[in-house]
């Protein structure tokens, strides 16, 4: 079964996945309304003239808005504007001023979504392989590839996303179609493993439980969605165009589409388990219990966490089994780069 890539972003269409759990559909429809409201306010004027594009990552980008979802907004400004300057901050603030009436929570002051960025930094070829690259830039670049969709400046977003992929393809893949997405795969692994390391060393019980839960579900789906696309195109000669045409899928759609290509019904088990995760995280009382560290000092001592660990184990088990079963379908080089 081949699922054709979408021509529109998720906010403008239905999910491309049959027999999806109802909680996923509910979250999708809820997110469509929110994204429409965001786009309407941004289009109504008042933004700084230096704002070129605005896109949403996180739960809103994935069409998974829940009762306690925040808004992971990324603002792109003109290349002649320093994002850290007063002009850059004013542009960033103009976006949030336009969204004020929606009551969306603003990002933490030290996170990936706390400031604007620009195309020149996200596409800078001189930072490839730079271990100490600014982590904010690195994070915003990857959010664009993993789970984002535009709400303002759509054409600029598409151009920028394509340019970011070209950055990973240039000087290697675009010179030899038989090569793999080696640069991108290495950075994808680095991104995901950095989240794993960060989570492992969080000492506060409540925050650790919440972040670990997200890591084992939505962050895993983000990672798997792009990873499976890279594996699926590993034997193709049109890798760049093929991948670009499939970036409008959400992470869950990417996983489901690749599974469906190989007629693998484990995609339904992944979706069902992920649906149970979304249902739990939509329950405010459940989330409060998950984060409550007033009694238990052992961070694993939580019935909520035990329940969610079982859903994440099911997701991981099915993803791993599917990837291992592709050893005769995907290029051997892909597996070499994945492991070594």
Burial environment of residue 316 by CB neighbours within 10 A (0 to 12, 13 to 18, 19 or more): middle
The pLDDT value given to residue 296: 59
> Residue 51 forms beta bridges with which residues?
77
* pTM metric for this prediction: 0.96
* % of the chain at pLDDT higher than 70: 99
Helix residue spans in 46-151 (DSSP H): 58-61, 86-98, 119-122, 135-146
Check whether 252 has a pLDDT greater than 90.
yes
Name the residue among 222, 197, 118 with its Cα closest to residue 164. 118
Distances (CA, A) of 56 to 73, 113, 129, 198, 247: 5, 10, 27, 23, 14
Name the residue among 10, 140, 123, 120 with its Cα closest to residue 74. 140
177: confidence class by pLDDT, cuts 50, 70, 90 = confident
109: confidence class by pLDDT, cuts 50, 70, 90 = confident
Average the pLDDT over each of 103-117, 118-132, 211-225 and give the range with the smallest value: 103-117
Q: For residues 148 and 142, what is the distance between their CA atoms, to the nearest angstrom? A: 9
DSSP-assigned letter for residue 334:
H
CATH top-level class of 1-126+144-164: alpha beta
The pLDDT value given to residue 168: 96
Q: What is the mean pLDDT of residues 49-64?
A: 97
Q: What is the pLDDT of residues 73-86, one digit of tens each?
A: 999 999 999 999 99
Q: What is the pLDDT of residues 259-297, one digit of tens each?
A: 999 999 999 999 999 999 999 999 999 999 999 876 656
The pLDDT value given to residue 246: 98
State both tokens at 165: 């992929």
The pLDDT value given to residue 222: 98
For the chain, give the mean pLDDT.
95
Question: For the chain, how are helix, strand and coil distributed in percent, rounded to 5?
Answer: 60, 5, 35
Strand locations in 60-212, DSSP E? 72-77, 117-118, 149-152
Domain edges within the chain: 1-126+144-164, 179-340
The answer for residues whose C-beta is within 8 angstroms of residue 309's C-beta and 6 or more apart is: 216
- Highest-confidence segment of 71-80, 174-183, 300-309: 71-80
Q: What is the mean pLDDT of residues 92-96?
A: 97
The pLDDT value given to residue 241: 96
The pLDDT value given to residue 295: 60
Q: What is the mean pLDDT of residues 7-23?
A: 95
Check whether 300 has a pLDDT greater than 90.
no
Q: What is the pLDDT of residues 185-243, one digit of tens each?
A: 999 999 999 999 999 999 899 999 999 999 999 999 999 999 999 999 999 999 999 99
């Amino acid at each position: 079964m081949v699922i054709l890539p979408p021509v529109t972003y998720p906010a403008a269409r239905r999910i491309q996945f049959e027999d999806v759990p109802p909680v996923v559909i509910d979250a999708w429809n809820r997110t469509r309304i929110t994204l429409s409201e965001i786009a309407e306010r941004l289009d109504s004027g008042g933004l700084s003239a230096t704002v070129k594009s605005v896109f949403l990552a996180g739960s809103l980008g994935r069409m998974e808005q829940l009762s306690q979802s925040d808004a992971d907004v990324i603002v792109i400004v003109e290349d002649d504007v320093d994002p850290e300057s007063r002009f850059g901050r004013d542009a960033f603030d103009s976006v949030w001023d336009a969204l004020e009436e929606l009551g969306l929570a603003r990002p933490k002051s030290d996170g990936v979504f706390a400031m604007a960025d620009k195309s020149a930094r996200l596409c800078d070829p001189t930072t490839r392989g730079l271990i100490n690259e600014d982590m904010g830039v690195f994070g915003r670049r990857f959010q664009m590839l993993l789970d984002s969709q535009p709400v303002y400046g759509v054409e600029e977003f598409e151009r920028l996303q394509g340019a970011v992929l070209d950055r990973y393809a240039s000087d290697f893949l675009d010179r030899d179609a038989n090569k793999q997405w080696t640069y991108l795969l290495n950075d994808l692994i680095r991104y995901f493993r950095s989240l794993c390391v960060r989570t492992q060393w969080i000492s506060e019980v409540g925050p650790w439980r919440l972040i670990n839960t997200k890591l084992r579900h939505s962050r895993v789906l983000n990672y798997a969605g792009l990873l499976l696309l890279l594996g699926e195109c590993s034997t193709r000669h049109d890798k760049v165009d093929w991948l670009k045409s499939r970036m409008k899928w959400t992470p869950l759609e990417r996983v489901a589409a690749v599974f469906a290509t190989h007629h693998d019904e484990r995609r339904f088990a992944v979706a069902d388990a992920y649906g149970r995760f979304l249902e739990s995280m939509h329950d405010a009382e459940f989330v409060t219990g998950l984060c409550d560290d007033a009694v238990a000092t052992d961070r694993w001592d939580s019935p909520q966490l035990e329940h969610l660990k079982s859903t994440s184990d099911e997701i991981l088990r099915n993803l791993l089994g599917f990837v291992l079963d592709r050893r005769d379908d995907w290029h051997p080089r892909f597996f070499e780069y994945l492991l070594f």
